[in-house]
Chain A
Amino acid sequence: MNRLLAFGLLAALAAVSVPALAQGAVHEEFRWLTFVVFGAIIALTMYVTFLAAKRVKSAADFYTAGGGVSGLQNGWAIAGDYLSAASFLGIAGLISLYGYDGFMYSVGWLVAYITVLLVIAEPCRNIGKYTLADILAYRNNPKATRIVGAISVITVSTFYLTAQMVGGGVLVKTLIGIDYEISVVVVGILMLGYVLFGGMVATTWVQIIKAILLVIASILLVMFVWTPYGFSLPAFLQAVVGDAKVQAQVAALLGDAARNMTPEQLGQRFLEPGLYFKAPIDQISLGMALVFGTAGLPHILMRFFTVPTAKEARKSVIWAMAIIGGFYVLTLFLGMGAAIDVGPAQIRAIDPGGNMAAPLLAQYVGGGADSMLGNLFLAFVAAVAFATIVAVVAGLVLAAASAMAHDLYVGVIRSGHVTAMEQVRAARIATVFVGAVAIVIGILAKGQNVAHLVALAFAVASSANFPCVLLTLYWKRCNTGGIVLGMIVGTLAAILLVLVSPNMTYPLAAKAAQEKIVATQTANLERLQGELAAAGEPAAQEKAQAAIAAAEKVKALAEARIREIGDARTSLMGLEKPLFELRNPGLVSIPLGFLAVVLGSLLYRDRRSEEMWGELYVRQNTGILAAKASAH
């Protein structure tokens, strides 16, 4: 098996060094630096996997590291599992482009852990074993709840996984110019190497290593950004307010409303709400999905089965909250620092979503695009981003594979009658299957806008998983009927509402928007032609010509887009315009999920759910037998 592992490592390294390189944020001459840093991190994680592989003997080792992870380790691993590229690069980017709103967005990601800490982590540790469905199956009909639980887990994981694979491929391409398909395959192979050989032990360590690297990188960057202002918050923010690039960005975002504002006012506006979030209800809906959805994310829940006791589970959430919260406070400086040092315009030029803000900031503080140190910093941040994707994907694949192997195969098909050997084999086969599917989906979804898939994963987790887990733990009358109905209604409500929401592409609206761009650019071109004719000096002529070329490019892009849309009139769902106005369905789908669990429970009678309530409630509160079970 170790020979196989060595082969996987070589294959991965060979794939990384394949010279299929195009353009990227890293300069050609410094690209070797990136590979050195990448290679070092891959070698370290592979070494850890090599050590872990010897310890993985049973299904418990594979799924939960035998329950032998400490609270401190698990806290770092949760942070590593949770701080995906979307939150690590995405939030810094949002802050660099939209200021205050980006920071406000980050708050929900931390507050989510209060729900996890207070009502989910310890009870789950006390009664669960490997999967989310274990909790549901405890007092309810095991087969029925395992089926709906596993389907929901696989749905959530697939959405999240697709977003990670596509985002990762794009990220690696943007940073170092490796082909998209190659990045997806490399991420897939590496992740499979970790999970297949090292199971949860290796996954945990990969997540810990990644979280530590992420925190080191962030602290270093913040030191560089903040030192010139003597570590004073007002002095630093004053520099943000007074920065011409920031002022220009606010003026561009506000449009006509910015006409009568002084530069100082424009800069100050960057620190006020409303530049990104326009619809308050939508934002509240998103907040609900974050705050309740995190507690229903299968790859996060699974982490609580790796610690031996409820007390360690509690300790791990406390550590995770300290790390995750500290990280988000640092992103305020990363984002604002990128806004003044790199500038929103340049950040947008490389990636319109702002995802490159932190990497570009690293390059800047190291000395810029032409310096060795600048590119070493960029390489380090790029490697951390890469490790992030691999670590998050590994956690997700493990969660999906455990639902397939432990819940569906062992629990439902074989009714629990399997040998220890068969369990481990089932787990590994499911892992290879999920990993292969992840790679295929990643390649097929190339070029798709997958940003809303993370939101959709949170929506399903908060509308289906969370109500079911919460009510089976705390509500005496909850039963099989409620769990089955809640899972189905919560999942379908979240997905259907997104399918008819503004997240989808509506050809008529898209066409109108592009036509508007064509119209403004046509007017713009006429004006520029006039300027060119009037321009006397060669410098002015050159400037006008450059502006004309840029405008023509924008116009051509918009026209190409219109041709692409063609005669299409309706969205995927056959709608001309959204039926449901919220981008995030949480506000409606979470109450629907709860309602379904309550109604299903009241309309159905299940003797087992009632008889087991006393046992479940005593166990989830006290942890009787929990420590004993994990000692095996």
Chain B
Amino acid sequence: MAEATVPRIDWQAIERDPRFHALHTRKTRFLWGLMVFSIVFYFLLPIGAAYTPGLFATRVWGPVNVGLLFALAEFVVAWSIAFVYSRRANTEFDAMADELVREAEKIGGWP
């Protein structure tokens, strides 16, 4: 099994590494920011539908009303969050993590 041959790695040393600290800080801020935004935006839909039915019923484009556009916007926003996150992760976070993976080989006794 893989576990049997796992090399010893000084995890505490990596945790203290300024590069890990930078990765962790940036990721945390970015991820939880997006998370809070997406949850607030999602719950605006049922709350709005329940408490501002007049606004949701306002017609803007033929029979298309604010409520329908808002529901469609939920899809667009969800996809946008996925896009924004994956772009940043693919470029920035992955590069930072890869560097740490290579560094871990140097610190610990990776065979």
Which residues of A approach B to under 8 Å, CB–CB? 100-101, 103-104, 107-108, 110-111, 113-115, 117-119, 233-235, 237-238, 240-241, 268, 271-274, 277, 280, 283-284, 287, 291, 311, 314-315, 317-318, 321-322, 325, 328-329, 614-615, 617-619, 621-625, 627-629, 632
Contact = CB atoms under 8 A, between A and B. Distances in A.
Given A100-B68, A614-B11, A111 B42 contact: yes
A622 B35 contact: no
B5 to A, nearest CB: 9
Interface in B21-53: 23-24, 27, 31, 34-35, 38-39, 42-43, 45-47, 49-51, 53
B6 to A, nearest CB: 6
B71 A107 contact: yes
B42 A237 contact: no
Given A118-B34, A618-B14, A622-B23, A271 B65 contact: yes
Most buried by B among A273, A328, A614: A273
A621 B23 contact: yes
Contact of B75 (A107, A119, A233): A107
Contact of B11 (A119, A274, A615): A615
B63 interface: yes
13 contacts: A103-B68, A103-B71, A104-B71, A107-B71, A114-B35, A119-B31, A235-B62, A271-B63, A273-B53, A280-B49, A287-B42, A311-B94, A621-B97
A115 B39 CA distance: 9
Interface residues of B, number: 55
B71 A233 contact: no
Contacts of A628: 2
Contact of A234 (B50, B62, B97): B62
Contacts of B104: 622, 624
Contacts of B11: 614-615, 618-619
Contacts of A321: 78-79, 82
A277 B49 contact: yes
Contacts of A114: 34-35, 38, 78, 81-82
A190 to B, nearest CB: 33
B64 A234 contact: yes
Majority SS at the chain B contact face: helix
A117 B85 CA distance: 9
Contacts of B51: 280
Contacts of A329: 72, 75
A625 B6 contact: yes
B69 to A, nearest CB: 10
Nearest to A234: B62
A617 B62 contact: no
B20 A113 contact: no
A614 B74 CA distance: 37
Interface string B78-107: 110111011001100010010011001000
A114 B81 CA distance: 8
Contact of A284 (B46, B59, B62): B46
Contacts of A632: 1-2
Q: Which 7 A-B pairs have the closest CB atoms?
A: A234-B62, A280-B50, A273-B49, A615-B11, A629-B2, A237-B63, A622-B97
Given A117-B81, A268-B57, A625-B9, 17 more contacts: A107-B42, A114-B35, A118-B38, A235-B62, A237-B63, A268-B59, A273-B53, A277-B49, A277-B50, A321-B79, A614-B12, A621-B20, A621-B97, A622-B20, A624-B14, A627-B101, A628-B2
A315 B89 CA distance: 11
Contacts of B64: 233-234, 237, 271
Contacts of B97: 621-623
B95 to A, nearest CB: 11
Given A280-B51, A322-B79, A622-B20, A107 B67 contact: no
Contacts of A119: 31, 35
B74 A107 contact: yes
A321 B100 CA distance: 30
B6 A107 contact: no
A405 B97 CA distance: 34
B68 A621 contact: no
